[in-house]
């Protein structure tokens, strides 16, 4: 039995959002309550990727309250405005901007209310952070956001903000040329594999995944997205395949349609690249689908580096790897 190791690399770029001139809009509502707590209402569906956490962090930062003071009501068609689909790696960028705008509007209403009490003539002289509104350059003069919000409510001031953000996109020309997206995400992954030349089995030993996310609002969530994307790419590369017979799928269950488990996962080393995107919320873009794209080509390049066979059909099952190795061996014998 011979096991050979190899490394391979692949890089990608990916357009954030719907692109190609398609309307890409998100609206959010943010309200500061009389006790200083905050509610964010957004149509953005959190499918487990963590968008509700990100949107809460953005509102907390913009208004100046602790994260545990923010509640996110998401994806309720009876109570939340439209935020578009959770697709195209768009919610952090598009809905993040909408929440930031709505939070800024609500926060500015509160700042305007307390400006006179704090003796400033514009809200530009105020700063809201850590639960307090203070005077710039004279931080001892301050009022808690909880107290300020209560006074505003007693005075009949509703602290509600609404924000709508539309992502810039450009329709392709008649020749299919152009730059249909803005912004773009970039990434590169390096795979190390071990190929068993007797069985054709490919084992992925390690993936190094470097992704440009603009700015990581939540580093743990970004690392989770990278690991999840690598897992999906690993499945695409080595095991996932819809099998059809006379138009019928005959592996419709997870016992016959295989996906990676934790036992199949290699070590994943995430590298977060931060090059702030000026149009994104605090410089953030998005990280979702881009993390899936380079994994399979990086693994296939690593297989080629290990045993010298180029596979062009996915998944790279042991049968396909063995077939390619035998074809290569046959070519070698024929040339001699």
* Residue 114 burial (C-beta neighbours within 10 Å; 0-12, 13-18, 19+): buried
Distance CA 291, CA 75 (A): 25
Q: Are 300 and 8 spatial neighbours (Cβ–Cβ below 8 Å)?
A: yes
Angle at 251 between CA 250 and CA 252, to 5 degrees: 100
Beta-bridge partners for 169: none
Q: β-strands 3-15, 184-196: how paired?
A: antiparallel
Distance CA 245, CA 251 (A): 10
The secondary structure of 189-238 as a DSSP string is EEEEEEEETTT--EEEEEEEEEEE-SS-SSHHHHHHHHHHHHHHHHHHHH
What are the distances in angstroms from CA 147 to CA 13, 38, 141, 142? 48, 14, 14, 11
Distance CA 76, CA 71 (A): 14
Distance CA 161, CA 105 (A): 5
**From the candidates 274, 289, 319, 333, which is the catalytic residue?**
289
Is there a catalytic annotation at residue 146? no
Alpha carbon 255 to chain centroid, angstroms: 29
State the number of CA atoms in the 13 A half-sphere of 60 facing the CB.
16
CB within 8 A of 49, min separation 6: which ones? 86, 91, 221, 225, 288
Quick one: three-class SS letters along 38-65?
Answer: EEEEECCCCCCCCHHHHHHHHHHHHHCC
Q: Are 295 and 188 spatial neighbours (Cβ–Cβ below 8 Å)?
A: no
Q: What residues are labeled active site?
A: 289
């Amino acid at each position: 039995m011979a096991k050979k190791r190899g490394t391979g690399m692949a890089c990608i770029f990916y357009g954030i959002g719907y692109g190609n001139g398609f309307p890409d809009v998100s609206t959010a509502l943010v309200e500061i309550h009389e006790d200083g707590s905050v509610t964010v209402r957004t149509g953005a569906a959190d499918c487990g990727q963590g968008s509700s956490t990100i949107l809460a962090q953005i509102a907390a930062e913009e208004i100046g309250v602790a994260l545990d003071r923010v509640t996110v009501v998401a994806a309720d068609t009876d109570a939340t405005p439209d935020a578009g689909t959770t697709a195209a790696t768009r919610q952090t960028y598009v809905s993040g901007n909408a929440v930031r705008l709505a939070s800024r509007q609500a926060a500015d209403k509160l700042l305007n209310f307390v400006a006179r009490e704090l003796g400033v003539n514009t809200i530009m002289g105020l700063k809201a952070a850590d639960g307090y509104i203070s005077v710039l350059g004279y931080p001892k003069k301050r009022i808690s956001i909880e107290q300020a919000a209560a006074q505003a409510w007693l005075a009949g001031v509703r602290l509600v903000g609404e924000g709508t953000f539309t992502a810039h996109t450009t329709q392709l020309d008649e020749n299919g040329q152009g730059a249909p997206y803005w912004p773009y995400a970039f990434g590169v992954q390096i795979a190390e594999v071990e190929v068993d030349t007797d069985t054709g089995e490919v084992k992925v030993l390690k993936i190094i995944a470097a992704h440009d996310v603009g700015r990581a609002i939540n580093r743990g969530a970004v690392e989770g997205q990278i690991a999840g994307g690598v897992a999906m790419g690993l499945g695409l590369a080595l095991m996932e395949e819809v099998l059809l017979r006379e138009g019928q799928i005959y592996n419709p269950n997870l016992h016959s349609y295989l996906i990676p488990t934790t036992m199949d996962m290699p070590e994943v080393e995430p590298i977060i690249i931060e090059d702030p995107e000026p149009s994104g919320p605090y410089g953030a873009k998005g990280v979702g689908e881009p993390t899936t794209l380079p994994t399979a080509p990086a693994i296939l390049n690593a297989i080629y580096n290990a045993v010298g066979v180029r596979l062009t059909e996915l998944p790279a099952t042991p049968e396909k790897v063995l077939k390619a190795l035998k074809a290569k061996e046959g070519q070698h014998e024929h040339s001699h």
